[in-house]
């Protein structure tokens, strides 16, 4: 499950490493990883290729660090759901669904950065792909924990269904195949929680 990046644009006066990451994020999101070269990132960051390689030994490392930052942002959504709804796992799951729904407008024109990146990184040993796979596995474990705490009879099945809905919603939003995606996401997730709980 993912949502669009929420990291705001940075001003040009930031330190070089931050400018490089901001430039990389903007270019990777708009043009894709493979089409963007280090020179283009350097120009957008108002620095040099040599400066980039001082901070990141390779472009692959830069891609991995960008995705690591995005993953941390999304894991923070889990943390907020827990802190905003202590001891209420059902509300925590619904809060995560709302987080995804709130990111859907951005998905419609940029797409999910993790899905987009996976499509460009077929090598499972690529460091950036490993970041994505680890991030997704952690999300699934955390959601499974919430489904277990709710007391659902089959928390693994519930986790799978909710994950399919949240990730599928982003694809549908991006390609425009389904209308009212956000409203339907919330209805479907609530339905899973209520059905599995026997309500």
> Which is more confident, 116 or 65?
65
Residue range 115-137, pLDDT digits in tens: 889 999 999 999 999 999 999 99
What are the b/e assignments for 63-89, b being 16+ CB within 10 Å? Answer: bbbbbbebbeebeebbeebbeebeebb
Is the model's pLDDT at 7 over the cut of 60?
Answer: no
pLDDT of the residue at 178: 86
Which percentage of the chain shows pLDDT scores above 90?
73
> Which is more confident, 110 or 50?
50
Is the model's pLDDT at 9 over the cut of 50?
Answer: no
Whole-model pTM: value is: 0.84
Domains of the chain, earliest start first: 68-196 (1.10.357.10)
The C-alpha atoms of residue 13 and residue 156 are separated, in whole angstroms, by 47
Conformation bin of residue 154: beta by default, left when phi > 0, alpha when psi is -120 to 50: beta
Cβ contacts of 152 within 8 Å, gap of 6 or more: 158, 193, 196, 197
């Amino acid at each position: 499950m993912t949502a669009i990046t929420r990291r705001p644009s940075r001003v040009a006066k930031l330190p070089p490493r931050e400018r490089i990451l901001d430039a990389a994020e903007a270019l990777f999101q708009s043009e894709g990883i493979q089409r963007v070269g280090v020179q283009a990132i350097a120009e957008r960051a108002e620095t040099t290729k040599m400066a980039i390689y001082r901070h990141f030994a390779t472009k692959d490392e830069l891609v991995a660090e960008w995705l690591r930052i995005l993953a941390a942002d999304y894991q923070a959504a889990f943390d907020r759901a827990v802190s905003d709804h202590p001891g209420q796992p059902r509300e925590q799951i619904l809060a995560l669904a709302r987080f995804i729904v709130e990111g859907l407008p951005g998905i419609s024109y940029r797409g999910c950065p993790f899905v987009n990146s996976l499509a460009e990184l077929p090598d499972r040993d690529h460091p950036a792909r490993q970041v994505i796979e680890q991030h997704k596995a952690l999300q699934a474990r955390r959601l499974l924990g919430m489904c277990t705490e709710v007391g659902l009879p089959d928390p693994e099945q519930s986790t799978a269904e909710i994950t399919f809905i949240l990730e599928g919603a982003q694809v549908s939003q991006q390609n425009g195949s389904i209308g009212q995606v956000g409203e339907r996401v919330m209805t479907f997730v609530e339905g899973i929680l209520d059905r599995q709980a026997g309500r």
